[in-house]
Amino acid sequence: MRQNGWKTAVLGAVFGWILAGCQLATGPLAAGSAAPPASYLDRLPQDEIVYFVLPDRFENADKSNDLGGLEGGRLDHGFDPAAKGFYHGGDLKGLTERLDYIQGLGASAIWIGPVYQNKAVQGPAGDESSAYHGYWITDFTRPDRHLGTEEDMHAFVEAAHARGMKVYLDIITNHSADVIQYRECPETACGYRSVADYPYTTRGGPDGAAINDGFMGDQAPFQTKENFDRLTDTDFAWTPFVPVGEEHVKVPDWLNDPRFYHNRGNSTFEGESSLYGDFFGLDDLATESPEVVDGFIQIYEDWITRYRIDGFRIDTARHVNPEFWQAFNAAVIAHAKSLGIEHFYVFGEAAITPPDQLARFTRTGGFPAVLDFALQKTVADVLIDGRPTLGFLPLFQADDLYGDGSAEIAPTFAGNHDMGRFAGFLRTAHPDMGDEEMLKRVELAHALLVFARGVPVIYYGDEQGFVSDGNDQLAREDMMPSEVALYNDNDLLGTDATTAQSNFDTAHPLYKAIAGMSALFHEHEALRRGKQVVRLAEEHGGVFAFSRLDEPGGEYLVVLNMRNEAREVNVLVDPRSQTFEALAGACPAQVATTGVVSVAIEPLGWMVCRSNGWEN
């Protein structure tokens, strides 16, 4: 058996877990009226393996919605399957048809990119692109017609729930589509104008004409409706206006009022502008306003009510004031609980890597969890840049900085739709690396995600060996047959296929590897919920080991060799552990001496070893 293999019997365990642990529904759920099976609702966030997918890039099951009900050319409807930045035709029906594939990988939850109605095309002449990604919302209340109908959304969620799978929606509150314009542009580049240089109470600077009499600013003590009612003039920095014909394009209608936006120009993503600036021109909402807070709570509570959604991934969390998050997160979690969804999972995106800065969002923003960009960076440091595994020690020691239990449910990932794919990072850093070594490194990265603390997130296509050329649009390949030349010339890992073909191969070596890991994860509760203890993080080497403690007594020892050389190392274990059973890899049968096991591990190998039980 290969060191990073597993017992053949385990490969089917994930299917047994799904059938035994999830009471499958016998018919479709009525819209907004029926709850998923009870055992499904009982699962904690850390019990899930999450599959993250952009619906437009997955499967096209309904070609009638490719144009989103719009007429004209591609700059009108946004559909051009040969262009990487335009709609390609994937839809909610396609996701529903491929649930077998996703569940077969071992995923028990699906995080889908934003599904809301978007402004189809944006961008300056010659540099336009479409809203296939879902982040340019005009109507926050219904699915984008390129993806399907409300009925299609219900059918997708109900089909997932019937299988005992959860659905997490990507949501946005920081910005809407780029509709509001400034009269000074494009003659003047509308860069960011600060609050101090362009106060709310004067027009065009401190010496300008007085406006908004009595407005006390937007800081926490003054975030009241009474105060914001005094903010009637919006031209304190630039002169915002809504173009003719778009006065009511946003839904709900309050979103069309410039009073509810910051109107300070484009963000530099530094300092104050990170909160107040337009995100690449997108209309930046004034989330300090109580009406904006209440409006978004109502919008997203309605999605929970209508579809029985199981959680939210919250976009651009770092660009919104903490008072908004404190109110919003508490409200939607309480609303879900009132509907019987006890473990509604909210996790924020703050694209920063220092753990102390990430932890701040769980302490001051009321986030149950945030995406673990710190772990992603450390995995890349070790597996791509060859740094010692000692870097994992301070990473996990920083878990104490997070809110209670937040580190245990932090979503962990190796790459994503914004930064790019882990395999792409590898190929860029090591263009001469062979496919076999790259496969092992990608597998090893996923082994760490699955078995370490946190909630593992698999980015769609990674399990099919996708190797992106870069970030953003370059890392959003099609799973269905692609017409994009920049995708189709990529050499995928572990297969002779290209993205020009359909890539739902359940025999792909990475798919099989992740499915095997997932089976262990679902079969052994300690690998999901057990307290993590770091056992070995080498100062100069590439071996990393940790235990997940079993509540009744015992431990699961996970050992990973992050370098391309065989190693023999001594690893600390609990002194009560005497013998070990190999769940994956060539585990030692017994300890070398009290509290120590001697491990021989192959290059880029990993193992999972279960100790004998011991009394606490």
User: Which residues, listed in sequence order, are joined to residue 240 by a DSSP beta bridge?
Assistant: 182
Q: What are phi and psi of 330, to 5 degrees?
A: -60, -40
Residue 315 amino acid letter: D
**364 secondary structure, DSSP code:** H
Residue 615: active-site member: no
Separation of alpha carbons 220 and 37, rounded Å: 42
Active site residue 315: yes
Closest CA relative to residue 210, chosen from 224, 229, 190, 230? 230
CA pair distance 129, 80, nearest whole angstrom: 10
Tokens representing residue 56 in the block: 């437009």
- The residue from 170, 310, 315, 550 that is catalytic is 315
Helix (H, G, I), strand (E, B) or coil at 80: coil
Convert 291-333 into a string of H (helix), E (strand) and C (coil).
HHHHHHHHHHHHHHHHHCCCEEEECCHHHCCHHHHHHHHHHHH
Q: Is 120 exposed, middle or buried (0-12, 13-18, 19+ CB in 10 A)?
A: buried
**DSSP 8-state assignment for residue 580:** E
Contact 85, 142 (CB under 8 A): no
Alpha carbon distance 424, 426 (integer Å): 5
Q: Which two tokens stand for residue 564?
A: 């391309």
Amino acid (one-letter) located at 171: I
Three-state DSSP class for residue 74: helix
Rounded to an integer, what distance in angstroms lies between the CA atom of residue 572 and that of residue 544?
A: 11
Structure tokens at 243: 């173009």
Q: Which two tokens stand for residue 416?
A: 């994503």
Catalytic residue among 48, 139, 323, 349: 349
Amino acid at 15: F
Say how far apart CA 197 and CA 308 lie, in whole Å.
46
Structure token digits, residue 25:
């529904």
- Positions annotated as catalytic residues are 315, 349
